[in-house]
Copies of this chain bind each other. A is one copy, B any other.
Amino acid sequence: MSEVYAARRERLRECCSAGGSATALISRPANVRYLSGAAPEGAVLLLGMDQDVLVCTGPLDDQYAEGRPDEAVRVQVLPVPAGDTAVAAADLASAQGAESLAVEENHLTVGRYRAMNSVAPRLRLGDLGGAVEQLRVVKDEEEIALLRIGAEIVDQALSELLESILVGRTERHLALELERRLVDHGADGPAFTTSVATGPNSGRRSHRPTDRRVEEGDFLSVCLGATYRGYRCEIGRTFVIGTSPADWQIELYDLVFAAQRAGRQALTPGAAYRDVDRAARQVLDSAGYGSGVPALTGHGVGLEIDEDPQLAPAAMGKLDACVPVTVEPGVHLPGRGGVRIDDTLVVRPEADGGPELLTITTKELLAL
């Protein structure tokens, strides 16, 4: 694995050199982990001229959730508060003779930036922008394998829930039970707050579970994700409670299903992000549901649950092979409820069989 991290750092170093800086300071936790293998709380990674240093505030003995650092990276534990590692790293870079340092302006606070300027006044601070985020978009097969395991875990947790009795249980209890099952099956933990939405809440993006109980005739929409060795995937499904769904429920479900399928089928290397979004969105638009559709119909996943690319109307860029994304259109009708269907897939060329579906739970409308 060590060569993988070294190669990532080397690619970043090339970006930095092109930007005129020989050294860089990485502070965003997912980026620190991507480049060094570990991201203890508050740690920053200094890509130095001589050696790369992971600046931490405590010993690295809590490795369960943060990974293990690459052996080629020097780990330096400093007795400073977690907010001050960036300042300590600026000091270190300056002491190593660095003249400029590229930082992540989209992550670093103004306060830390000023403190860095103050401890190392001759160090010229530049902006690394989203260089590491861009490197992270296309995954290697090891990363995809971790996402695949995470997807198996969410499929298992969901299928077990469906075997249990649902009527009368609250959204919060169902969400907690799902999270427990994720961990039972080996996840580090949930990838984000599990969403369980019933009746009028169903179909809402990022709905936070309430004390509402599942009732006969409800739509039940569930969105959950697993983190496995740092990698996050998600699944969303909508079910109907009781034996006979209403006509409007069947119609709405079929429509969202068609939109989600259109989105999935648009996932080919070279497809524009906005065209994938449009493929899904226009199915809903043409049925008159355009205003109820969220701002994006999918997004990248990896070390964070919401990464580049964004599949949205104004997004710029094109899909590459080996980019894992969600496709998750939905419709919510205020007061009535709605439907969301969400998969994690990996973009693959047609020759390799097209998009690889990681979350394989059925998308038939199950009446539970």
Binary flags per residue of A242-286, CB closer than 8 Å to B gives 1, else 0: 000000000000000000000000000000000000000000000
**Contacting residue for A110 out of B83, B105, B173, CB 8 A:** B105
**Contacting residue for A176 out of B111, B127, B180, B208, CB 8 A:** B180
Chain B residue at minimum C-beta to C-beta distance from A57: B295
Q: How far is the CA of A289 from the CA of B335 in the complex (A)?
A: 61
CB-based contact B208/A64 at 8 Å: yes
A172 within 8 A of partner (CB): yes
CB-based contact B106/A109 at 8 Å: yes
**Contacting residue for A206 out of B62, B108, B127, B204, CB 8 A:** B62
**Contacting residue for A107 out of B109, B179, B210, CB 8 A:** B109
**Contacting residue for A105 out of B103, B111, B207, B208, CB 8 A:** B111
A353 within 8 A of partner (CB): no
Task: Report how many copies the assembly holds.
Answer: 2
A114 within 8 A of partner (CB): yes
A60 within 8 A of partner (CB): no
A254 to chain B, nearest CB (A): 26
Looking at A103, A106, A173, A204, which has the most chain B CB atoms within 10 Å of its CB?
Answer: A106
Residues of the B chain whose Cβ atoms lie less than 8 Å from the Cβ of A64: 208-210
A65 within 8 A of partner (CB): yes
Q: How far is the CA of A108 from the CA of B112 in the complex (A)?
A: 10
CB-based contact A109/B105 at 8 Å: yes
Looking at A83, A107, A172, which has the most chain B CB atoms within 10 Å of its CB?
Answer: A172
Chain B residue at minimum C-beta to C-beta distance from A108: B110
In A137-174, the 8 Å CB interface with B consists of: 172-173
Chain B residue at minimum C-beta to C-beta distance from A294: B58
The 3 A-B pairs with the shortest beta carbon distances in the complex, nearest first, are A105-B110, A106-B111, A105-B111
What are 5 A-B contacts defined by CB distance under 8 Å? A62-B204, A83-B106, A106-B109, A106-B110, A110-B113
